[in-house]
Amino acid sequence: MLPRIICYTPMSSSHEPSVSAHKLYAPSVSRPLVRRQALLNLLRQRSDARLVVLQAPAGHGKTTTLIQIKQQCEADGSLTGWFTLDEADNDPRRLFPHLGALINQLAPDLEIDVPELRGRHRTDWMIEALRRLPQQSALFFDEFQALSSPELLRFFREFSERLPENVRLYIGSRSIPDIGLPRSIVEGRGVLILAEELRFSLSEALAFFADAIDLDLTPTEIETIHRRTEGWPAALQLFRLSLKRASVRARLQEPELPRPRELTDYLVDNVVATQPPQVREFLLRTSVLTRLCAPLCEAVTGYTGAQNMLLQLEQAGLFLRSLDAELRWFKYHSLFATCLADQLAIRDPQAFTDAHRRAAEWYEKRGMHAETLHHAIACGDYALAAQTLDRWASQLIPEGRLITVERWAQQLPWDAIAQHPSLMVKIAWAYIFLRRHRPLAPLLEKIRELERSARLDANIVMSMAAISADNVEEAFARSERFELDQPRSRGFQAFELGAAGNLAAYRALAENAFDRSAELLAQALQHSERAPAPFSGGYNAAVAAVAALLQGDLHTALARFRRFATEAQPLLDRSVAAAAMYACYLWALYEANELDTADTIYGQHHDIIVESTLADFTAVALLAMARIDDARSRRTQADERLQELESLAQANGWTRLSCLVVGERMRRALAAGHVDYARTLATAMPHAGTTPSRWRLFADDLGNPLYARIQLAIESSQHNLAEQLIESARIDAGSRPYRQMRLHILQAKNNARAGQDRSAERALREALRLAAPGGFVRAFVEEASTLAPLLARIATGEPTDASAFTRGLLEPCGIYHGAEPSPPPCEPLTERELAILGLLAQGVSNKQMAHRLVLSENTVKFHLKNIYAKLGVDSRLRAITVARRHGLIG
């Protein structure tokens, strides 16, 4: 038998720092810069602009111009901060610690905390932190083109639009950044400086060559160089470095030279040719390095004395700049490095590969995973790259740095990944959480193959793949094999066990085993803390709070959500754990009638909520928000919420959620009096929605399609059918007071419509008894058009334990008991309209109104439209509420 692989790779003892200091260090200047006075004057004239973008291809002097702007800001008394971006910054968990460090560098005495937030929270924090700065400040972001994440570009768009008055933002980029720049320019808040403006003028070119006394250039020669380079700064510098060669100088007399871009290779060749052999070799071999330090250069070249060499190259202006004040790390200009590396690859492919290989080995020994991966992939050492990513992913996955895992996995060939089963498992975790279905499929197929041959223990990740696909049967069957009692778990193993514990608790919740669910959540939390895996904390909090809600304790559920959102906020970022927590929080806020807070939470966290890994979390959030939109007369937005949920269900294969969407559309149609449309929708709903399932998944507690069928039966006056469906639903209600409450409300509605007032009152009293301890409000408001008279009678009747709660429901339900009636509407209602309004208050459908009043349904709709206009409302519930205030109905 082949050896069995356990996917618990030991974590590297060396953890990479969360903040790379060199990224926050503005390049030093080893020689005087040609002062870009025209540009500086332009910016002084546009002092009202908060956003300045320098956009041009490589070699146009964006960085050196930003340095001069920075120097001018400092001379004017402003605080300044610098940040050089790279591709790795597309992971929010890498970017935001750097932004926090950037702000703290501006004013260390303020001791500004740096929480890891999401969405608008991030912008709010940045704006507030910058407002606290004691003086005018300028932030400089270089190499901005490296940023491609839509989420982070949205952040910078919002950030740039809301910059406080004491801050200016300067950006250098090879492409125009998608951060709302056109709008900023139109509104006068932004300035765009393009390549044409960054090119040197003739006077600037003359100043540039003025101190090159050894070249003895004539003004005519400088004018020729300027004309043929079109003022391109990089080409001017290359000319300056290569003009010592007679052949280069002689070409100035030729009628035509290559265009500026074509000059690059020619000039770089000549720059290198003017150097001593050892310097030439050093330049070529180290050109493959993204950044340089003396020990690394010595490992790559085999030469000693690299520190002196680096200092000499910087002093000579050979496109090398230091990255720190201690002169330890350096970086070539990207244009220069690319040309040199291309030359090395063409002239000596073996030397090119060897340089990358040596760099990869040097970085590997120091536990610098990102650099190891870069060079290992460049030299084709995919085995080393896969081993490195396997080790690093053991840290990245628990921390939630999924985008980093995805970025590197995409650069590895499939064969290299397939040779490392434990790496396959970790990449699968990232793809599951990020919902990358296409690349995930072959991974899962290969993992299943290894499982069948007993070569891989991947039960936990496969169970998570199943539940993310809403394959509940497979996920819960696999959960039976979890071995959670492992008190010594650490690292990635602890992360997996924490996730397994959360899934097992989710299953226990679906079985109404609330005590068992709580035990499993506690066990999962212990594993997550040993990982450490803050990534899992949101799931844990969400399931625990939902358990409280289902048991009728809404107050405890809300308290848990609020505590987690406050205390654990620094642990949350772009994580599906945060998505789970906030999704369920919205549901609880809706039930408590805290609609303003729900609107705020949704606006801040929409992006991650709709990215939630599990179907039920997404469903309760969007269903709750659709109902909030309806409650606030935002019908178009409510339609959009359901359309979004339906699209997510289709994209992820969540057929159960598609059924929930149909049920919710039926409920809304019935609430608006469109019984025929609801009946049409019902024919499209799978009948599985009416059958008690083995598992009681919590999205059904809010949006059970069976409830919609009950509502349809009630509105169709099929009261016996409604009674049968309610009794069928009670089988699933089990020990869930929340479900029981909603079913008693439906029972009360059915009985009231059937004219059985005593039975209706008994059912409603039972619903109130169940709802009162937790403070559930919206379930009653949803049916206020029918139940309001009963609620008013109960509120003024014999006192009970639920009396105070019942009285508190009157106002949300539009009942203003004991209040003076408001003045009548400006335009009185006709007798026919008053009759229709009375039927409306009884919950009678449009079709039934037409039958009772011997009118066409279109005529009823016409009268309803007039009623709404006279009362200044746009829905049935609001019409009833306003009519009661005016004393038009009882």
Where does the pLDDT of residue 267 fall: very low under 50, low under 70, confident under 90, or very high at 90 and above? Answer: low
pLDDT above 50: residue 574: no
Average pLDDT, the chain: 86
Most confident stretch, 214-223, 314-323, 381-390, 455-464: 381-390
pLDDT above 80: residue 713: yes
Average pLDDT over residues 118-128: 69
Cα gap 767→739, rounded to integer Å: 10
CA distances from 113 to 129, 135, 604 (A): 9, 19, 20
Cα gap 309→313, rounded to integer Å: 6
Per-residue burial over 186-224, b = 16 or more CB atoms within 10 Å of its CB, e = otherwise: eeebbbbbebebbbbeeebbbbbbeeeeeeebeeebbeb
Q: What is the pLDDT of residue 688?
A: 47
Give the other-Cβ count within 10 Å of 804's Cβ: 11
Average pLDDT over residues 170-177: 93
In tens, the pLDDT along 25-40 reads: 988 776 677 888 989 9
Q: What is the pLDDT of residue 334?
A: 83
Average pLDDT over residues 680-709: 78
pLDDT above 80: residue 732: no
In tens, the pLDDT along 43-97 reads: 988 888 999 999 988 888 899 999 999 999 999 999 999 999 999 999 888 888 8
- Please check whether residue 612 is in contact with residue 579, taking contact to mean a CB–CB distance below 8 angstroms: yes
Report the candidate in 404, 403, 325 with the shortest Cα–Cα distance to residue 82: 325
**CA atoms lying within 13 Å on the CB side of residue 647:** 9
Express as a percent the part of the chain with pLDDT over 70. 90
Q: What is the pLDDT of residue 828?
A: 83
How would DSSP label each residue in 140-201? Answer: EEESGGG---HHHHHHHHHHHHT--TTEEEEEEESS--TTTHHHHHHTTSEEEE-HHHHSPP
Q: What is the pLDDT of residue 686?
A: 61
- Helix ranges (H only) for 76-114 are 92-106
Residues sharing a CB contact under 8 Å with residue 89, sequence separation 6 or more, in sequence order: 95, 98, 146, 147, 152
Name the residue with tokens 């299943």.
448
Q: What is the pLDDT of residue 226?
A: 84
State the DSSP code for 535: G
Q: What is the pLDDT of residue 258?
A: 52
Q: What is the pLDDT of residue 187?
A: 86
Where does the pLDDT of residue 16 fall: very low under 50, low under 70, confident under 90, or very high at 90 and above? Answer: low
Q: What is the pLDDT of residue 817?
A: 54
pLDDT above 50: residue 146: yes
Residue type at 748? A
Q: What is the pLDDT of residue 2?
A: 33
In tens, the pLDDT along 590-614 reads: 999 999 999 988 988 888 888 776 8
Average pLDDT over residues 792-811: 89
Cα gap 374→205, rounded to integer Å: 38
Where does the pLDDT of residue 496 fall: very low under 50, low under 70, confident under 90, or very high at 90 and above? Answer: very high
| CA angle centred on 657, ends 655 and 661, rounded to 5° | 120
Q: What is the dihedral sign for C-alpha 748, 751, 757, 763?
A: negative
Q: What is the pLDDT of residue 821?
A: 44
Name the residue with tokens 């709070």.
545
Q: What is the pLDDT of residue 483?
A: 93
- E strands within 611-728? none
Q: What is the pLDDT of residue 575?
A: 54
* pTM assigned to the model: 0.78
Q: What is the pLDDT of residue 286?
A: 96
Q: What is the pLDDT of residue 733?
A: 83
